[in-house]
A and B are shown apart, each in its own frame.
Chain A
């Protein structure tokens, strides 16, 4: 958001501030993982497998003797990254396509919107999994699949706003003042059109974090032994009866991060006067 000042932050509802603080906390955890994590997340110690939470290993150890807390902290890096990068990609592509379709209109608009309809007509998860199966698993495949599928929501939102704004008096005024079309689109329409897309991107980040960890859980995303929450849950599944801490804590982490984004999104929506 351009022009977000302290005064604007102060107007945020309390829950949004809580959500924002939680997001910031997760970002700090992810950035400072090498310092926060008490143990190496990958190195195995087969003498200390499946220890329940204790003073040395606060969240216990897994079947290879790795510290769950350390894997959780390192995992925050990947999961946060998957959420934020995926949203950055889809937000950018969707906004560009939506703004151009809405502003230029005509044949180009029809073409882009039919493309959007085709993309949307496939179930989201099925299409993602199909694309990743073709591209191969891993983060690169994940991001490409997200870019191919995820732009549609943003394109729809931004196009709808652009169509309204294009007819607005201040855009007409800008035309009568002799501003060039590119300037009108970039400086006057897009900044006013993206507010609902920004709000949506927050809840969308939740979706991509869940998607990323789900795909890793299914073996289509990040691969073991990398520390990632979905991978951790998948590995812990076998031991769920004996070592509950292996699945429960990564599950909590996903829920907490998702909650943080959701709270922030709600508060933002309230302030920007949009609803998701």
Chain B
């Protein structure tokens, strides 16, 4: 089967801002946050895909739009080749069962009034995945799979640590046996020592179930160890996409190179760290969204349409400055999976 598991095509997600009376009187148009601006990306069966970018670049919105948790302004999301938008209730339930998400803040992602056991049982009951008399054992097994003792089942999120809450969040997603799991910054709120445990847990579960995982992260340094492929995002657009190994060895886009240069331990590459703040997603610059911070910006980058995809089917970049191969000093340092 060559149909990707989940595919987005020209996905656009805009959030209209509230329009004040003053704006209306002055005839100013409604302002819009352009969180995602035409992203095309495919998630393949069983792979680990990283979506990397700094905060505010739209990566979380992209992840949520993939799961139809925020409505797409335009474009398509396809699951097994079938368009997700406009699904009826049954179709939507099918999507929910197959695609799950784990959030950044482990405490906030659990209902504070529900015990762990009740939260997991609720999912199993509503999807009729488990008969009532087997519920206790099924919940215990779920807890065990994420490395929690069954004794924690009667606790509420308030008396669990961040790492434990995140494991519960993973168990809850796992209860539905999803084909795809979106991990939205799922370790950035945790201690470094716990981060590794949670990431290893996700990789173990992936090996066990064969589900695809989309790691959304601001940290290319973490993602490179986990993912087969990475997609780099900047201001609502992809700037580079390709196999993790290739992108790290041979980054084509100035932004990707800046990200790689800022990875601790790899940082003695060429000093191309980006300066300043990204532009506002409300007032996007014309041309390439990155041109204001790009050291190599040319006249063509500053106006007109954003650059088109360059490169081959595997490794693509959206830049006017296609960079011929050639290894950077970073390449030798990256021991990749």
Contact = CB atoms under 8 A, between A and B. Distances in A.
Interface in B38-87: 64, 67, 69
A173 B126 CA distance: 14
Interface centre among A174, A175, A176 (most CB of B within 10 A): A176
Contact of A178 (B64, B92, B105, B108): B92
B176 A177 contact: yes
B109 A170 contact: yes
Given A178-B127, A188-B111, A192-B113, A169 B105 contact: yes
Contact of B108 (A170, A174, A175, A191): A170
Interface string B118-144: 000011001100000000000000000
Interface in B278-337: none
A192 B110 CA distance: 12
Contacts of B176: 177
A274 interface: no
A183 B101 CA distance: 19
B173 to A, nearest CB: 8
A168 B97 contact: no
A43 to B, nearest CB: 52
Contacts of A255: none
Nearest to B176: A177
Given A172-B69, A178-B97, A192 B111 contact: yes
B273 to A, nearest CB: 32
Interface string A176-212: 1111000100011001100000000000000000000
Given A176-B67, A176-B69, A176-B101, A170 B111 contact: yes
Interface centre among B99, B113, B172 (most CB of A within 10 A): B113
B103 interface: yes
A177 B111 contact: no
B228 interface: no
B69 A175 contact: yes
B93 interface: yes
Interface in B158-190: 169, 172-173, 176
Given A168-B108, A178-B126, A192-B113, A173 B101 contact: yes
A177 B105 contact: no
B110 A176 contact: no
Nearest to A174: B111
Interface residues of B, number: 28
A37 B126 CA distance: 54
A81 to B, nearest CB: 30
A3 interface: yes
B145 interface: no
A176 B181 CA distance: 11
Contacts of A173: 101, 103, 109-110, 169, 172
Interface residues of A, number: 18
Contacts of B127: 178
A168 B97 CA distance: 21
A162 to B, nearest CB: 14
A177 B169 contact: no
Nearest to A189: B111
B89 to A, nearest CB: 9
B112 interface: yes
A172 B111 contact: no
Contacts of A192: 111-113
A144 B104 CA distance: 47
Given A176-B101, A177-B172, A178-B127, A170 B110 contact: yes
B108 A176 contact: no
Nearest to A195: B113
B97 A169 contact: no
A179 B126 contact: yes
B289 to A, nearest CB: 27
Interface centre among B93, B99, B126, B169 (most CB of A within 10 A): B126
B217 interface: no
Contacts of A2: 113
A172 B126 contact: no
Given A2-B113, A173-B169, A177-B100, 19 more contacts: A169-B103, A169-B105, A169-B108, A170-B110, A170-B112, A172-B69, A172-B103, A173-B103, A174-B111, A177-B126, A177-B176, A178-B96, A179-B126, A183-B126, A187-B122, A188-B114, A191-B113, A192-B111, A192-B112
17 contacts: A168-B108, A169-B104, A169-B105, A169-B109, A170-B108, A170-B109, A170-B111, A172-B69, A172-B109, A173-B101, A177-B123, A178-B126, A178-B127, A179-B122, A187-B122, A192-B112, A192-B113
8 interchain residue pairs of minimum CB distance: A178-B96, A169-B109, A169-B108, A169-B103, A170-B111, A176-B101, A178-B93, A188-B111
